[in-house]
Amino acid sequence: MSTAPGCRALLLVGAVGVGKTTTADAIGDDLEGRGVPGAVIDLDAIRRGWPAPPGDRFNSAIELANLRAVAQNFREAGAEVLVAAGVMEKRAARDRYEEAMGVPLTVVRLVAPRDLVRSRLHRRHELEPESLTWHLDRFDELTAILDAAAVEDVTVPVAEDPRATARAVLDAVWRGELGRRIDDVVEDRVELGTFKTTGSEFERRHPSV
């Protein structure tokens, strides 16, 4: 099966703790609720292997190899929107991620106040003092790296409700051609009687929100 015409990819980047994975899940639920075929890819998950090879601290090579395979599988299965969450530290790497996704790529940087992220990290790693220290330091390190690299096409501040952040990302990225195409997909499904709202899906997965 070939790639769906007009297929696009979205990569959410940001420092640790800003909510990349949560936002990607919320975007996926939003698109699913509108009847837009797609997929969510967690880059942390597909690069998790050990030990990392010399000179590749974060397993970037295997991440890209796995992303290429996973994205192709989703595209051939009919995905029209690919949503990935991870870290891209250098603008020069952008072409490699777009090539791996196999379709035009938009990069969104999520940002959050430092105090908010530090509070999240303290809760997340309260029983792991060494991990907490690493993540706190990594937040500051990554923030400085991303500030300098300017890898993003657009920056979106995170909201308290992940669904609001998801909507802000979609509004910021897809006001143009892709946004109109997504609206057309929804209208087609309504006319065919195949459109189903699944707004409760996010609530099922995230009951505390």
pLDDT in tens, 161-178: 999 999 999 999 986 555
pLDDT at 135: 97
pLDDT at 178: 52
For residue 82, report the phi and psi dihedrals to the nearest 5 degrees. Answer: -110, 125
pLDDT at 6: 83
pLDDT category at 119 given cuts 50, 70, 90 is very high
CATH fold group of domain 8-196: Rossmann fold (3.40.50)
- For helices 60-76 and 94-101, angle between their N-to-C axes, nearest 10 degrees: 30
- What are 94-116's pLDDT values in tens digits? 999 999 999 999 999 999 999 99
pLDDT at 194: 45
**Mean pLDDT computed over every residue of the chain:** 88
pLDDT category at 187 given cuts 50, 70, 90 is low
* pTM: predicted TM-score of the whole model, two decimal places: 0.84
- Please give, one letter per residue, the 3-state secondary structure of the chain: CCCCCCCEEEEEECCCCCCHHHHHHHHHHHHHHCCCCEEEEEHHHHCCCCCCCCCCCCCHHHHHHHHHHHHHHHHHCCCCEEEEECCCCCHHHHHHHHHHHCCCEEEEEEECCHHHHHHHHHHHCCCCHHHHHHHHHHHHHHHHHHHHHCCCCEEEECCCCHHHHHHHHHHHHCCCHHHHHHHHHHHHHHHHCCCCCCCHHHHHHCCCC
* 143-151 mean pLDDT: 97
- What are 15-60's pLDDT values in tens digits? 999 999 999 999 999 999 999 999 999 999 999 999 999 999 999 9
* 148-153 mean pLDDT: 96
* 78-106 mean pLDDT: 97
d(CA 136, CA 90): 21
Instruction: Say what percent of the chain tops pLDDT 70.
Output: 82
For the cut 70, the answer to whether the pLDDT of residue 82 exceeds it is yes
For the cut 80, the answer to whether the pLDDT of residue 117 exceeds it is yes
- C-alpha R_g of the chain: 17
